[in-house]
């Protein structure tokens, strides 16, 4: 029986990994920053409250760690983002010496200043990032040493706390505000596909390497947005701001929000513009060939209940 520890288990991805691992019959130990979670969120696995930047509790022995913890925001104090992503990863590695380490990273480690066109894993990290999130995740990838690194892009699905809320938050009356022309292709990653990759990395023959993890094929942004609106029953149409207009607006919005000390990001940020206005697609050949990854197609079926 595989003994697996899952960090970030109180979150969206970590909880989904726990449930799937329990269903597979593995012995799962769930760790998260929240004081407690509902049993169903982690599939009934024993849960330990553990802030990776605080004192380490007594921990069970595990064969593999699936590291889902970290900051997933592109807005906030850079020092806190760096600590969560880099120091948190370092502390997770130190807590389980000798265990296989699966690190859930992000496609934000690719160059944010140019389109990402079916990018292969060797084209990241780069020397420039638009914010602390991408930069810190790039550094965090180097912390575990020999590990399996997974790079998803725009994770969505039941329990989604980031992508779907942002899309719905951009609806203004009968318009869904977006950037570009709507024809740009993007790779998305359903949480189910990411969970599949995590479990393959945890139990498979591959002990280290970097792997892009997305849905089976890229989609056109306009098609994806219309599918989300349709599933949610929202009578709005995507409305696209040209990139040349959106970029300066994002700079103004970010500056104003920082001056006002707003804890939440503006609707339009440079990070969001960079990820929506141009192609962001990833090559998943390595995951297919080496991990045995068999992703399903992008689908928002059932999004009305997410």
Q: What is the DSSP string of 39-104?
A: GGGGTT--EEE--TTS--------SEEEE--S---SSS-HHHHHIIIIIHHHHHHHHSTTSEEEEE
For residue 125, cis peptide bond before it (omega within 30 degrees of 0): yes
Residue-level pLDDT at 8:
98
- Cα separation, 278 vs 182, whole angstroms: 9
Secondary structure letter of residue 261 according to DSSP? T
Residue-level pLDDT at 17:
98
Query: How many C-alpha atoms does 265 have within 13 Å on its Cβ side?
Result: 20
Residue 269 contacts residue 108 (beta carbons within 8 Å): no
Residue-level pLDDT at 281:
98
Does pTM surpass 0.85? Answer: yes
- Cα separation, 59 vs 56, whole angstroms: 8
Residue-level pLDDT at 280:
97
Q: How far is CA 96 from CA 21, 22, 70, in A?
A: 19, 20, 17
Say whether domain 3-299 belongs to CATH 3.40.50.720.
yes
- Cα separation, 36 vs 8, whole angstroms: 12
pLDDT along the chain (306 residues), means of 10: 96 98 98 97 98 96 97 86 97 96 97 95 95 95 96 95 86 92 96 98 94 98 96 94 85 85 80 85 98 97 88
How would you classify the pairing of strands 47-49 and 116-119?
Answer: unpaired
Domain spans in the chain, listed from the N-terminal domain onward? 3-299
């Amino acid at each position: 029986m595989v003994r697996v520890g899952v960090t970030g288990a109180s979150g969206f991805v970590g909880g989904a990994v726990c449930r799937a691992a329990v269903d597979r019959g593995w012995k799962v130990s769930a760790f998260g920053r929240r004081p407690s979670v509902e049993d169903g969120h982690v599939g009934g696995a024993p849960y330990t409250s553990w802030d990776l930047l605080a004192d380490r509790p007594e921990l069970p022995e595990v064969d593999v760690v699936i590291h889902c913890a970290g900051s997933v925001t592109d807005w906030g104090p850079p020092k806190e983002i760096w600590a969560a992503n880099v120091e948190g990863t370092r502390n997770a590695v130190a807590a389980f010496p000798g265990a296989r380490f699966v690190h859930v990273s992000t496609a934000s480690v690719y160059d944010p200043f140019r389109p990402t066109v079916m990018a292969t894993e060797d084209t990241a990290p780069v020397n420039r990032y638009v914010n602390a999130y991408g930069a810190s995740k790039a550094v965090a990838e180097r912390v575990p040493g020999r590990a399996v690194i997974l790079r998803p892009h725009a994770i969505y699905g039941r329990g989604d706390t980031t992508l779907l809320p942002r899309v719905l938050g951009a609806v203004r009356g009968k318009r869904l505000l977006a950037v570009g022309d709507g024809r740009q292709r993007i790779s998305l990653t359903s949480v189910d596909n990411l969970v599949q990759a995590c479990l393959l990395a945890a139990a498979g023959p591959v002990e280290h390497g970097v792997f892009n993890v997305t849905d089976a094929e890229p989609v056109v942004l306009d098609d994806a947005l219309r599918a989300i609106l349709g599933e949610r029953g929202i009578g709005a149409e995507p409305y696209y701001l040209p990139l040349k207009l959106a970029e300066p607006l994002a700079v103004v919005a970010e500056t104003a929000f920082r001056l006002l000390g707003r804890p939440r990001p503006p609707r339009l940020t440079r990070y969001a513009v960079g990820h929506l206005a141009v192609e962001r697609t990833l090559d998943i050949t390595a995951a297919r060939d080496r991990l045995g990854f068999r992703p399903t197609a992008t689908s928002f079926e059932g999004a009305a209940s997410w």
